């Protein structure tokens, strides 16, 4: 059997950021305790001692905002239920506000080998306007403590398109993060999700964000700047120093099988997608009430193209043929057009988006879907 991956969702946060629509809640200790009891049961329920686990991603919400012992218990249960490979990548997401030496030392002790900080920006005005509780100083300190505690594989999340941002300010943030020697950056374009406080403020014209066109310019400049610092893009939003690509992310993009444990989590096993309820009380109180959906051949081909083209690895024509889609035949005219206009390249059976065309990746992908 092939290796699988595990995603564990910790849905708690100390406060809700204005832009965020993730499945996350500000909850009390009783709910947290009950949640972890159920999470352990869910992992136990899926036990399979023939399955090797190559990566674990503990995400959220904010895993650092709960008692670190809960995280230890989760890893313990995973080790009991599956075969955890000795070289498995184990990531935890952290918020600078809830990170401290004690927690980081503990994470290191229990085998976590990659940390991902939600930094978003190192500009205090922007941070305040998007409802982050930390300031630039606290964010930098959290990264320094992680390094002190022995973490080398440090990733940071940065947002493009937040209030008060200019390319210069974005570059200043990135420059400081590079100085701190972070190895990996996820740079996300801000999505103005419906029903968030930020979207409401934008609609009421109380606050403004850079236009979409401006964000694409920021993104293209950022790519060039990071490249000049030897931090390379391996996926549309993900950049790293050589050898620090996130194994777990690559697994998602190559349609590797994974378990998703926790409220709102998704799994992908034997061509089936399973989705847990997004209601935390239903998750705690009901029995494994996940929805099951069979991924059709067409959907699998679409995902393969959409995810693959967003990466530097591109898509392999022969792999697609094996899946039942002869892209060179079915999309002959579109491929010629895109190659002639330097949007994509085709070399040794691999199609890739040209380096300077990631800003219009979605439009390119749409042309190549079945
Ligand atoms: C689960 S959070 C990371 C850890 C922690 N909760 C924190 O925020 O510090 C994952 C990341 O998603 C990104 N994100 C959240 N809402 C977003 C939005 N509306 N648009 C784009 N990215 C978003 C942020 O960069 C955030 O760091
Ligand atoms: S961005 Fe992170 S800390 Fe903020 S509400 Fe979303 S999950 Fe919680």
Domains, in order of start, for the chain:
4-252 (3.20.20.70), 297-370 (1.10.10.920)
Cβ pair 153, 129 in contact under 8 A: no
Token look-up 């060039």 returns 224
Q: For atom 21 of ligand 1, which residue has the closest CA? A: 190
Q: 96-142, pLDDT tens digit by residue?
A: 999 999 999 999 999 999 999 999 999 999 999 999 999 999 999 99
Q: Pocket of ligand 1, candidates 57, 97, 118: which has the most ligand atoms within 8 Å of its Cβ, to mutate? A: 118
pLDDT given at position 63: 98
% of the chain exceeding 70 in pLDDT: 99
Cβ pair 122, 173 in contact under 8 A: yes
Taking the centre of ligand 2 as the mean of its atom positions, its distance from the CA of residue 197, in whole angstroms, is 13
Residue 289 has pLDDT above 80, yes or no: no
pLDDT given at position 218: 96
The answer, yes or no, to whether any atom of ligand 1 lies below 6 A from the CB of 303, is: no
The answer, yes or no, to whether any atom of ligand 1 lies below 6 A from the CB of 238, is: no
pLDDT given at position 293: 87
Average the pLDDT over 325-346 and give the result. Answer: 97
**Closest-CA residue to 312 (of 247, 266, 358):** 358
Token look-up 């530097």 returns 312
Q: 159-199, pLDDT tens digit by residue?
A: 999 998 999 999 999 999 999 999 999 999 999 999 999 99
Q: Pocket of ligand 2, candidates 25, 62, 116, 262: which has the most ligand atoms within 8 Å of its Cβ, to mutate? A: 62
Q: Is 307 helix (H, G, I), strand (E, B) or coil?
A: helix
Residue 313 to residue 326: CA distance in whole angstroms: 19
**In whole numbers, what is the pLDDT of the chain averaged over residues?**
96
pTM of the predicted model over 0.85: yes
Residue 287 has pLDDT above 90, yes or no: no
Q: Helices marked H in 84-161 — which ranges?
A: 101-109, 124-129, 136-148
Region of residue 162 (left: phi > 0; alpha: psi -120 to 50; beta: else): beta
pLDDT given at position 292: 85
Tokens of 335: 């491929």
Q: Helices marked H in the chain — which ranges?
A: 29-45, 68-81, 101-109, 124-129, 136-148, 167-179, 197-203, 212-228, 247-253, 280-285, 297-309, 317-322, 327-330, 332-340, 361-368
- Of the listed ligands, the closest to the CA of 209 is 1
Average the pLDDT over 66-78 and give the result. Answer: 98
Q: Which atom of ligand 2 is nearest to the CA of 120?
A: 1
Token look-up 């002869």 returns 326
pLDDT given at position 291: 82
Cβ pair 232, 226 in contact under 8 A: yes
Residue 204 to residue 224: CA distance in whole angstroms: 35
């Amino acid at each position: 059997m092939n290796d699988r991956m595990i995603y564990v969702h910790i849905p708690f946060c100390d406060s809700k950021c204005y832009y965020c629509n993730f499945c996350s809640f500000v909850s009390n200790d009783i709910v947290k305790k009950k949640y972890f009891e159920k999470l352990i049961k869910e992992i136990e329920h899926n036990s399979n001692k023939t399955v090797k686990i190559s990566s674990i991603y503990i995400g959220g919400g904010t895993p650092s905002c709960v008692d670190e012992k809960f995280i230890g218990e989760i890893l313990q249960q995973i080790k009991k239920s599956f075969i955890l490979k000795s070289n498995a990548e184990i990531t935890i997401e952290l918020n600078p506000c809830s990170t401290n030496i004690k927690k980081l030392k503990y994470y290191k002790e229990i085998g976590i080998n990659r940390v991902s900080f939600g930094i978003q920006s190192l500009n205090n005005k922007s941070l305040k306007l998007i409802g982050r509780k930390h300031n630039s100083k606290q964010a930098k300190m959290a990264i320094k403590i992680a390094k002190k505690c022995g973490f080398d594989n440090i990733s940071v999340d940065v947002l493009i398109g937040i209030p008060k941002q200019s390319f210069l300010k974005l570059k200043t943030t990135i420059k400081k993060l590079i100085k701190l020697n972070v190895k990996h950056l996820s740079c996300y374009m801000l999505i103005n999700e419906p029903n968030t406080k930020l979207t409401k403020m934008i609609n009421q014209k109380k606050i403004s964000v850079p236009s979409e066109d401006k964000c694409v310019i920021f993104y293209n400049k950022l790519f060039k700047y990071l490249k000049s610092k030897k931090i390379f893009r391996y996926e549309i939003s993900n950049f790293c120093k050589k050898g620090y690509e996130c194994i777990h992310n690559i697994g998602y993009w190559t349609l590797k099988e994974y378990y998703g444990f926790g409220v709102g989590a998704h799994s992908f096993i034997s061509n089936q997608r399973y989705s847990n309820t997004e209601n935390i009380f239903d998750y705690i109180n009901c029995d494994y009430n996940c929805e099951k959906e069979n991924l059709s051949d067409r959907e699998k081909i679409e995902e393969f193209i959409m995810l693959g083209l967003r990466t530097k690895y591109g898509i392999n024509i022969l792999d697609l043929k094996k899946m039942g889609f002869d892209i060179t035949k079915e999309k002959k005219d579109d491929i010629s057009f895109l190659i002639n206009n330097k949007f994509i390249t085709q070399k040794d059976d691999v199609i890739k988006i040209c380096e300077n065309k990631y800003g219009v990746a979605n439009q390119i992908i749409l042309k190549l879907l079945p």
